[in-house]
Amino acid sequence: MKIGIPRALFYYQYYPFWKTFFESLDQKIVLSSPTNKDLLKKGLELCVDDACLPVKIFHGHVANLIGKVDTIFIPRIISIEPKEYICPKFLGLPDMIKNSIPDLPDIIDVDLNLYKSKIMFFRHFIKLGEILNKNKKQILIAFNKAQRVQQRFEYQLIKEKIVPQDILSETYKISQNEIFSYNPSKLKVLLLGHHYNIYDDFISMNLIMKLRKKNVTFITSEMVTNKIIVEGTKNLSKDMFWTLGKKAIGTAYYYLERKKVDGIIHVASFGCGPDSLVGEILEKRTRRDFHIPFLFLNLDEHSGEAGFNTRLEAFLDVLEGRKYFEDNIPTYG
């Protein structure tokens, strides 16, 4: 069977797992095209007006697969960490798609819900395997294989401080070690935001490439261990129930408290519910307690690249200036 996977949203987190799992069960994977103008246009046409950019784009990716596959894989990602959610739109994603896109093929929309326990991750894939008419043993083998590949993927991101696209995309061949060597004279920036926004080069207007070209070292939440995130969030007065928000905040506070960064770039999509509050907490604390420059990039379908570049460059200039002062002016007392 040909299973379509939209190259959007949790593709950036789970694709290695999905691919290995399905392929081990003799399925053929078809990915939608990388995000582009037409795909965005299609998404805007189909999706309910008030959704955020990544969800609109997701609609475009689904439409892009129609006619090319037997079924489209749109898991209902309710929760990927105990006591946490991603966002209401993820809870309703398969519904939104079915409500808004006509002539869909079959949709595989099995729940992924680890709210109560992580064991459900395994159950989720058992269920998937069963839908594909595979027996327990086949599913188990595929699951184990997929898990190994996924672990290696996640480990690589952390170890080599690379982005998912370095592994997932063919166009991303660069010699990471050269770029990511810890060089004290280089600017160090935290790049915070949902993976499906920052790693989708169309959405983020090639932000990753731009930072690399400018020789800026950056850390994202995918490059840090869970331990760091737990450490970073331990001073929150209430546990954050949005997984992606928690990761951003944890990463930020961990590095801020250790004075390891020169600035923070926070990428959010216009209309993103969780980020409207997460961003506020982040920005307030960064400015108030740590006095570190903070750049908030709010993306929607109207964002122009020129303005985006100007703001990014201005921000990096400020960081350069501050760094120069710190390095060259002795501090007294």
User: Please, what is the minimum distance in Å from the beta carbon of residue 175 to ligand SF4?
Assistant: 32
Contact with another protein (CB under 8 A) among 284, 289, 313, 321: 284
Q: Which of 74, 110, 163, 272 binds another protein (CB under 8 A)?
A: 272
List the interface residues with another protein, window 298-317 (CB under 8 A): 298
Token pair in block for residue 108: 């595989």
Q: Which does 331 bind (CB under 5 to 8 A by kind): another protein, ligand SF4, none?
A: none
2-5 and 28-31 as β-strands: parallel, antiparallel, unpaired? parallel
**Binder of another protein out of 274, 293, 294, 319 (CB under 8 A):** 274
Interaction pattern, residues 247-286, with ligand SF4; x per rule: CB under 6 A? ----------------------x--xxxx-----------
Residue matched to tokens 């190994």: 148
Residues in the chain: 333
Residue 73 touches which member of another protein, ligand SF4, none, C-beta under 5-8 Å by kind: none
Q: Could you write out the DSSP letters of every residue in 261-286?
A: -SEEEEEEETT-HHHHHHHHHHHHHI
Compute φ and ψ for 42, nearest 5 degrees.
-60, -45
Contact yes or no for 289/259 (Cβ under 8 A): no
Query: Considering the rule CB under 8 A, would residue 84 count as an interface residue with another protein?
Result: yes
Of 89-97, 153-161, 193-201, 248-256, which segment contacts another protein by CB under 8 A? 89-97
Collapsing DSSP to helix, strand or coil, 256 comes out as: helix
Q: Are 269 and 197 in contact (CB under 8 A)?
A: yes
Closer of 54 and 250 to ligand SF4 (Cβ): 54
Q: Does residue 48 bind another protein (CB under 8 A)? A: yes
Residue-wise burial string across 157-168, b where 16 or more C-beta atoms lie within 10 A, e elsewhere? beeebbbbbbeb
